[in-house]
Amino acid sequence: MSQKVLLVTPPLTQLNTPYPATAYLKYFLSGRGYEVQQMDLGIELILKIFSKTGLTDLFAQVEEPHTENCERIFSLKNSYVNTVDAVIRYLQNKDLTLSHRICSRKFLPEGARFRVLDEMDENLFGKMAVEDKARFLATLYMEDLGDFIRENIDSGFGFSRYQEKISVTASSFDDLHTLLQADGSYLDRLIIELFDEQLQSFKPDYCGLSVPFPGNLYGALICGRHIKAHYADISVFLGGGYPNTELRDLTETRVFDYVDYITLDDGELPLLRIFEKAKDSSVSLQRTFVLEDGSVRYFPQTEKEDFPHTETGVPDYSDLPLDRYLNIIEIANPMHRLWNDGRWNKMTLAHGCYWKRCSFCDVTLDYIERYDEAPAKVLVDRMETLIEQTGQSGFHFVDEAAPPAVLKDLAIEIIKRGLVVSWWTNIRFERAFTEDLCKLLAAAGCIAVSGGLEVASDRLLLKMKKGTNLTQVVQSTSAFSKAGILVHSYLMYGFPTETAQETVDALEVVRQLFSHGLVQSGFWHRFALTEHSPIAKNAEEYDVEITGPEFGGFAKNELTHKDSLGANHDLYADGLRKSLFNFMHGVGLENKLDFWFEVKVPRTTHAKDLIQEKLDNISSQLKYLRKDRALWLGGEPVFVVDEQNADFAELILPSQSEDNILTLPVQVAEWFSHLLPQLTVGEDPVSYDEMDDYYQQYFGSSIDDLVYSDVWNELRDSGLVVLR
């Protein structure tokens, strides 16, 4: 009889799609004979609360609302109770005929969250986009109720986190332990009810608690506490991004009142050894903390290798309620919505980061340091498997940074198989993302990318060893945008030694990038100094003084520090966020930068045409290497001789929306009509050098002469790409 393993994602991560950690482990363990079930407690909790019976019970917990907004929501509680099931069905795409009623503004009760509509263009969604508008209004409805829960039921509640505050920088376990010893909140009790139903139904031998973020830790520990109190025969292990990052120096014994094992890094090897050791005491645990003789003991990895990405990179979503997740729109921005709207199959193309040099990043940790990629054919096989399993053709590749070469091979394989998919991923803004490569990615279904622009300063980009500069950022974002691929930029302020002038100049760069349509959304992050980053290892090199915190035996990650050479970064936080929010909605791009700040700020030193100048320089840098591969992504060309002028012919280049018609000398038109079909995906690869040889044999001159001509530009616009 096989051992039974329950894998749980504690509340809360995302509402639109399951976090993939348990799905990866399910695939791996099921393939080795274990009976595995997985549970997303987050979506189960939300659906229990946001139901007619759930809201009725929730409102019954409140005697006197704490704020004016909550008083209004409470006074409309019957309206919320009577509409919540309909809203949930709508956000699950099960009752889209409600769009018009929701958009009428007379169906849903409205609280303080709806005030944002007063500042928005009433035509933002257009006359026909009623479903998007309704989804946005339904999201505001949900957020109003979330505010009510937070202010009257449990201050630790959030739609993508639970009790996060107590887990962030939890150097000591004291506060967590104290809270865990209490009776528990109303939400705690709901979580345990749902969890216990699964335990009784499945009766596992092991329960794995995946903690990707601080906002999942408390939920995991109350689940572990419940097992310890009521199911002594079930062993509990805890793993995921949070312990991988924060618990590497663990000495705290009390956490083992709630779990039996804490594993680090990829879970496949540690879990197999835990299961095997239960049968054979001679088996050595790997990358696992346990409590032994009253002290915490860590078993490091002694085996040579982990399992390769080809064996572990497939998620199995088969027993998750994929049709019950919610598609919400928090911000009316086409790129930003992707994180919360749509049921994306999350998948990795490679393990780790191919760059792994950024000084602010945790590059010493396994999930970044150890790079391992799978071949394109294997990746597309996995995509086809997931499409068949989930019925969804959308993919979010959750790599640290997807390598350009892997994306190129992936795109070619997708096109070769005729696979219809939509996907988005994280990238680095580097020169390898040429216009031609981005056109290929778009043809293969890429709809968006996100990447780290960070400080938007060449001096600081060099200091953080990002491996890019502003010129490369402009070149790559321009290439993506021209291909119709949305661009999201991660932005950073407060990097060590960053001055007030550099902060304002960075905002000017961001403003110009939005003005030119090179990025469509972004997010400012405050620099955080982390234990596993090169800066923490060499603080003096970066002019930083680490000041704490004192390690209390539990979590160790974010460090406090002094930045004596930098600005007072707190002064700029609100202005940076406010300006960016407006830029994402196309508002305020012509305002002077000091408009966004409550404090006096320096004038930017950047020229108003900084980005335009870089764009002009990029447009004149088209160069090909002899070994580059030529591909034709357009339709089959048609060659038509001009009856009125026998020296010329029409070369008709079909595309999805229109035909591009070139009038060329007969021999040139005929040559391209024969060549282009040979360049399509699936035919033998043709290099630029080979194409040049064919051209020289036919015309006696190099095809280089065409590269800057109108003919070449027309061919590129119609589907000719040349790839590194």
| pLDDT above 80 (res 332) | no
pLDDT digits (tens, 9 = 90+) for 336-360: 888 888 899 999 998 899 999 999 9
Asked if residue 508 lies in contact with residue 652, where contact means CB atoms within 8 angstroms, the answer is no
From residue 24, alpha-carbon distances to 227, 273, 323 in Å are 24, 17, 20
Question: Whole-angstrom Cα distance, residue 310 to residue 376?
Answer: 11
Does the bond joining 403 to the residue before it have cis omega, within 30 degrees of 0?
no
Amino acid identity of residue 232, one-letter, is A
Q: How confident is the model at residue 495 (pLDDT cuts 50, 70, 90)?
A: very high
465 dihedral zone (left: phi>0; alpha: psi -120 to 50; beta): left
Question: Whole-angstrom Cα distance, residue 527 to residue 463?
Answer: 14
pLDDT digits (tens, 9 = 90+) for 49-73: 999 999 999 999 998 998 999 999 9
Question: Whole-angstrom Cα distance, residue 486 to residue 335?
Answer: 6
Query: DSSP letter at 419?
Result: -
HSE-up of residue 198 (Cα within 13 Å, Cβ side): 28
Extract the tokens encoding 672: 């391209």
Question: Whole-angstrom Cα distance, residue 466 to residue 630?
Answer: 30
Extract the tokens encoding 445: 């279904």
Instruction: Enter the CATH code of domain 327-528+567-618.
Output: 3.80.30.20
From residue 70, alpha-carbon distances to 112, 116, 616 in Å are 9, 17, 54
| pLDDT above 90 (res 310) | no
pLDDT digits (tens, 9 = 90+) for 652-699: 998 877 888 888 888 988 999 999 999 999 889 999 999 999 999 988
Instruction: Enter the CATH code of domain 4-41+162-310.
Output: 3.40.50.2300
Residue 538, exposed/middle/buried by CB under 10 A (0-12, 13-18, 19+)?
exposed
Question: Whole-angstrom Cα distance, residue 79 to residue 208?
Answer: 40
Count of positions (residues) in the chain: 724
**pTM, full prediction:** 0.92
Question: Whole-angstrom Cα distance, residue 724 to residue 713?
Answer: 19
- Strand ranges in 163-287 using DSSP code E only, listed in sequence order: 206-210, 235-239, 261-263
**pLDDT recorded at residue 554:** 97
Segments making up each domain of the chain, as ranges: 4-41+162-310, 62-152, 327-528+567-618, 629-723
DSSP codes, 337-349: GGGTSS--EEE-S
Return the closest-CA partner of residue 182 out of 150, 230, 238, 221: 221
**pLDDT recorded at residue 1:** 64
Asked if residue 655 lies in contact with residue 719, where contact means CB atoms within 8 angstroms, the answer is yes
Tell me the average pLDDT across 34-51. Answer: 98
Return the closest-CA partner of residue 472 out of 618, 355, 353: 618
Question: Who has greater pLDDT, 66 or 614?
Answer: 614
pLDDT digits (tens, 9 = 90+) for 157-207: 999 999 999 998 789 999 999 999 988 899 999 999 999 999 999 999 999
556 dihedral zone (left: phi>0; alpha: psi -120 to 50; beta): beta
Question: Who has greater pLDDT, 128 or 293?
Answer: 293
Query: DSSP letter at 705?
Result: G
Amino acid identity of residue 145, one-letter, is L
pLDDT digits (tens, 9 = 90+) for 174-185: 999 999 998 889
| pLDDT above 70 (res 619) | no
**pLDDT recorded at residue 621:** 62
